Amino acid sequence: MNHILNMQPEKLIIFDYSGTLSLESTFFAGPDNLMKRLEESGLKDLGIDSPGIFWEEIVNTTWTEGSTTSAGYKKVMEKRISALLHKSASIVPRAGISTAVSFFVDSYLSHSTIDSRWEHVLQKLNEPPSARVIIATDHYAEATGYIINFLTEFNVRAAAAKEAFLNPSEASFIVANSADMGAYKADPQFWEILKTGLKLEAIRNILIIDDFGCNEQKGDSYGEELKVEIRKLETVRMLETVFPAKVSAVPFMIEDNSQGKEEAFGNVIKETGQQ
């Protein structure tokens, strides 16, 4: 395997994570399930008692720090809730906030598994590796380790991007998280760092499989329709600029229909695996 990886790859396959490899991560944030998780974690008792408050007051206001620094989901959420409680003159022990936040974040990340229907596709790409595979995600710092562990369960060897920079030939699957890279995947800097660190100068063909935010929950500003379309166009254009390569995009988009989201997701995986 190392002999193959030591040769500079000419093909790059890019997978998005939430909404593409993982459907459960989007189900977790569905209104009914989200309320259940807020209640069982204790966050509801702290005033985070509706999806609207969760998205508008917690996630959207902390997203930039949480997803482009090493701070992590737990830290930014805890800090934000403490500020809200201070503003409302509520007195809650810091340990109580930390416990509730930790429970919620651990539950979210442990439920954000890779759909088992991807297993065959990922294993096929892994042995022997005919291309370099990058799982590119805009996510919190804690997600990197979880994603690597989920891949390990499929017997797919993966490494965090910055660890792979130390020995680019070690793993064929690379997890590139915006929180680790300090930039979003739609930012040329994200890909310039990967291109240099992974020695991807020879890339000539790129296949990107991404929902471009389409399958995110509607309550999340990240998934607004106009932003989705703009992100798709700019991402493809940006990749063509960073790499002297032909870029093919496979929009991993699940349409609302009578099948139900779960079955529709499986059908899109099947269609994608045949490309």
Tokens of 85: 């409680």
Q: Which helix (DSSP H) or strand (DSSP E) does residue 119 occupy?
A: helix 119-126
| List of residues 6+ apart from 95 with CB closer than 8 A | none
Tokens of 49: 């008692």
What's the CA gap between 2 and 46, in Å, rounded? 51
Contact present, 252 and 272 (Cβ < 8 Å) = yes
Please report, in tens digits, the pLDDT of each residue of the chain (275 residues total): 444 445 567 899 999 999 899 988 888 988 999 999 999 999 999 999 999 999 999 999 999 999 999 999 999 999 999 999 987 756 677 889 999 999 999 999 999 999 999 999 999 888 766 689 999 999 999 999 999 999 999 999 999 999 999 987 777 899 999 999 999 988 999 999 999 999 999 999 999 999 887 776 555 656 567 777 788 788 889 999 999 899 988 877 766 544 455 555 555 565 555 55
Provide the residue type at 218 as one letter.
Answer: K
pTM attached to this predicted model: 0.86
Q: Rg of the chain over CA atoms, in angstroms?
A: 19
What's the CA gap between 207 and 273, in Å, rounded? 12
